[in-house]
Each structure stands twice: as C-alpha cells, then as structure tokens.
Amino acid sequence: MPIDLGLARITKLLGHLNNPQHAYKSIHIAGTNGKGSTLAYISSILTQANIKNGKFTSPHIINYHDCITINNQTYPKSKFDQINESVIQVNNDLDLQCTEFEILTATAFKIFAVEKIEMALIEVGVGGRLDATNVLVPYDGKFGVIATGITKIGLDHEKLLGGSLSAIAQEKAGIIKYKIPCFVDCSNDEVVLDTIRAKAEESLAPLYIVEPNRDFIKFSPLQGSYQVNNLSLALQIIKCLPYKITDEVIEQGVSKTHWPGRLQLIQHKNLGEILIDGAHNESAAIELGNYLKEKYGSESIVFIIGMTKGKAVDNVLKHILKENDVVIPTLFSQPDNMPWIKPESIKRLGNAAKKYSNIRMLNDDNVHIGQVFKYLEKEETLLNRPIVICGSLYLCGDVLREV
C-alpha cells in the first residue's frame, strides 16, 4: 500500500512482537539530505570501537534487505527473510493492515533485538513526527533514544509534509524527545533552526547547533563539501554517548565509512569511470552541481537521468545541466516491495532536459540502464566524456547491479 503516515498500526504490530525496540539504546536521525551518510559515519566508528550496532536506512540500494546492517555489514538475506516473514504473519493474522515500510521497520527492530545489539541507528523514512520509526521512546536508563539528530532540511515530499521549509521542519522536529539531546546541522535555513529551537524548548531537550569540525574530514572517503557537515554532526553525537572512543578509533572509523550511491565513482568494464549520485531533490541537486563544477569545470558531460514520478524535475535539472552537456533519459526498475514508487516517463524527462542541454532519446517509453550502456559503448561522438548518472537512488541501484 502507498505511504500512509501514522503510528497506530506500527504500535500495535510491535506490541504483538513484544516491543523489540525496547531491547537497546537508539540514535534517531531525520532530515532531507545527509541522514544516511551521518549514520554511516556513526556505524563505522562504533564498529571500530567494538560497540555492536545495527543500522536501518531507507530506501535499499541493491537488494531489499541491504537497508539493515549489523556492525556495518548487510544482514544475511536468509536471516532477514525468516524474521520478515514472521512479522508479515503477525500483521496478516491480526489484520493490522500495516504498510510495507511499517513491516520493514518492525523487521529491523526485531532483528536488532535478536542480534542483541548495543545501539540502533535509525533513519526516518519520511518526515519524522508520524514516521513509523518515531515509535521510539526517550532513553530511560535502560533502552530508548539516547540522542536525536537533524541533518540538512530542504523541500521534498511536499504533498506529505507541507510546501514550506517551516512546515517540513515541523514534521522533522517531531522526532525530538523529552529531555533527550538533539544535534542539528548549522547550515540549515534560519526558519528551520527557529522551528527546531521551539520544538526542543517545548520538549525540554538540550539543543546543539553543530558547526563544521574539519579535524577528521581528511580521513573521509565520501565525496562532496557537504560531508564535513554530516561528519561533524556524527562526531557530536558520538561524543554524547556513554563510551570512551579515542581519536585513533574515530579516525579509523571515518576512513572505513562506506555509503553507496552518493557521489560514488564506479568502474564500467567498457565505459571506464562513472559518477553515480542519488540526488533527487533541489537541495541535493545544488550540492551535486557544485561538485560537478569543481570536478569537471566546463567539460561536456553525458548525463543519464532517471527520476521518481512526482518529483520536481526542473528543480533538479536546472542546478546540474549546462548547454554543452548531453542528457539520456532512462527508467529504473520497479523497487522490491515498494509498489507506490514509479519512474518518471522518459518523455517528460526529455522535455524538461532539452530546456538546458542536448538530449538523446533512445526510446520514447522504455529504456533502462543496460540499453543506455550498450548505446554509449557504440556511440563514438560521446566517447571520452565524463558520465554522470543521477536523479534517483533506485537508478543508482540498477547501475550497481549492472556493473
């Protein structure tokens, strides 16, 4: 079923599963962009410090179960399937009518309890206030949320969260917990920070506006100038935890951080180096555009672009395309267990892109990444140009499966 925000169904489901989320401490992260990177840093550092942790992020990249990791390693599919099927059975037997994301959230919480983790690292799915992950309660000395974090907030999912930054910030700030410290990226717009301040004050939650700390960014393998903000947020959260983690361990953790589909350079056997990035909203597109200017300058780029239906296509393309670039629109394959996600039509992508760049339409209605790669292997006029694939994490997943 489609996204249907609310906590009633997930609360009932978890109750019938004996509330597995009450078996460990948690860190809860909301925001528009940077949530996954922030949690990837935290997970890598905790893993290096021998603190057993489970991470739940969304969407998945390659396989449905890769959104759940233990100590930074994807949870085995056989174990995932077993627990996921047991959760689905409870949902069906009791006719709770939980959404796919609610079932996945309950599966993650159950896995973390079964694996006896110390710390759960939880990324909000959509928004925060009514997101399924927000069933988590404040830390009481035994279990619950020990810290919340809010990354950069921009316009995205406006139909669900509201059409202004303040409305969206209000939803994201809904994860702030009573008397639990909250850490916020300082690069947020002032209206966002004011909204978060008000919610923190109402919740008696200590609030920390996190400034960039450049002490460890040189060790990060993740690309993009914005990573200094994500890493700084992660480090401030790490410092508030009840563990003694040395700078040496932090350095090792940062250097071993991996987060696919975000300014990731991959190698194609025939096409060489390809940059993939899941930028799918305006804030992310601005950051991608800045990175492309820095890396490629005025060089002509071949863009392979696919986006989810309903996204503001122009608001993404206008920040990344130049007149001398070439755009090839494509579809992405249907993501597992996410029937509400559909790719934007090739025709609409092409019509939007031709306002900014040259376009190559391989087909009006049915092109996927494998066909685009075969076309580029034979198309001599586009040889030796940088290739950038962006617009959707689902498209990035197709690419990673293909190569």
Q: What CATH number is given to the structural domain containing 40? A: 3.40.1190.10
Per-residue pLDDT at 158: 54
Task: Based on the fold, state whether residues 47 and 191 are members of the same structural domain.
Answer: yes
Cα–Cα dist 396/214, whole Å: 29
Cα–Cα dist 97/322, whole Å: 47
> Which of 255, 280, 311 is the endpoint of a domain?
255
> Which of 230, 255, 280 is the endpoint of a domain?
255
> Which of 255, 287, 315 is the endpoint of a domain?
255
Task: Based on the fold, state whether residues 110 and 76 are members of the same structural domain.
Answer: yes
- For tokens 């492309």, name the residue: 292
- Distances, alpha carbon 63 to alpha carbons 102, 331, 335, 340, 374, in Å: 18, 18, 9, 17, 24
Task: Based on the fold, state whether residues 313 and 239 are members of the same structural domain.
Answer: no
The residue type of 274 is I
Per-residue pLDDT at 365: 80
Establish if 2 belongs to a structural domain. Answer: no
Task: Based on the fold, state whether residues 150 and 23 are members of the same structural domain.
Answer: yes
Cα–Cα dist 39/56, whole Å: 9
The model carries a pTM of 0.93
Instruction: Determine the distance from the C-alpha atom of residue 71 to the mean position of all C-alpha atoms in its chain, rounded to a whole number.
Output: 18
Establish if 181 belongs to a structural domain. Answer: yes
Cα–Cα dist 227/122, whole Å: 19
User: What token pair was written down for 274?
Assistant: 């390809």
Nearest CA to 278 among 392, 136, 115?
A: 392
Establish if 338 belongs to a structural domain. Answer: yes
Three-class secondary structure of residue 30 per DSSP: strand
Task: Based on the fold, state whether residues 99 and 176 are members of the same structural domain.
Answer: yes
Per-residue pLDDT at 163: 67
User: What token pair was written down for 300?
Assistant: 């002509």
Task: Based on the fold, state whether residues 283 and 211 are members of the same structural domain.
Answer: no
CATH number of the domain where residue 345 is located: 3.90.190.20
Task: Based on the fold, state whether residues 201 and 301 are members of the same structural domain.
Answer: no
> Per the structure, how many domains does the chain have?
2
User: What token pair was written down for 338?
Assistant: 């996410």
Per-residue pLDDT at 192: 94
Are 124 and 29 in contact by the 8 Å Cβ rule? The answer is: yes
Per-residue pLDDT of the chain (403 residues; tens, 9 = 90+): 556 778 999 999 999 999 999 999 999 999 988 999 999 999 999 999 999 999 999 999 999 999 999 999 999 999 999 999 999 999 999 999 999 999 999 999 999 999 999 999 999 998 889 999 999 999 999 999 999 999 999 876 556 566 688 889 999 999 999 999 999 999 999 999 999 999 999 999 999 999 999 999 999 999 988 999 999 999 999 999 999 999 999 999 999 999 999 999 999 999 999 999 998 888 889 999 999 999 999 999 999 999 999 888 999 999 999 999 999 999 999 998 888 889 999 999 999 999 999 999 998 788 999 999 999 999 989 988 999 999 999 999 999 999 8
Provide the 10 A C-beta neighbour count for residue 353: 24
Per-residue pLDDT at 310: 87
207-210 sheet: strands from edge to edge: 73-74, 68-70, 53-56, 119-123, 25-30, 144-150, 182-185, 207-210
- Distances, alpha carbon 112 to alpha carbons 8, 9, 208, 351, in Å: 22, 20, 28, 46
Cα–Cα dist 69/88, whole Å: 20
Cα–Cα dist 187/220, whole Å: 20
Task: Based on the fold, state whether residues 116 and 184 are members of the same structural domain.
Answer: yes
Task: Based on the fold, state whether residues 325 and 197 are members of the same structural domain.
Answer: no
Task: Based on the fold, state whether residues 304 and 230 are members of the same structural domain.
Answer: no
Per-residue pLDDT at 156: 61
- Distances, alpha carbon 155 to alpha carbons 68, 161, 188, 285, in Å: 26, 9, 12, 12
Task: Based on the fold, state whether residues 39 and 124 are members of the same structural domain.
Answer: yes
Nearest CA to 181 among 159, 206, 158, 201?
A: 206
Per-residue pLDDT at 240: 96
Range of the domain at 346: 264-402
Are 313 and 352 in contact by the 8 Å Cβ rule? The answer is: yes
Cα–Cα dist 162/171, whole Å: 9
Task: Based on the fold, state whether residues 140 and 177 are members of the same structural domain.
Answer: yes
User: What token pair was written down for 206?
Assistant: 């200590």
Establish if 1 belongs to a structural domain. Answer: no
Show the CA angle centred on residue 43, arms to residues 28 and 267, nearest 5°: 120
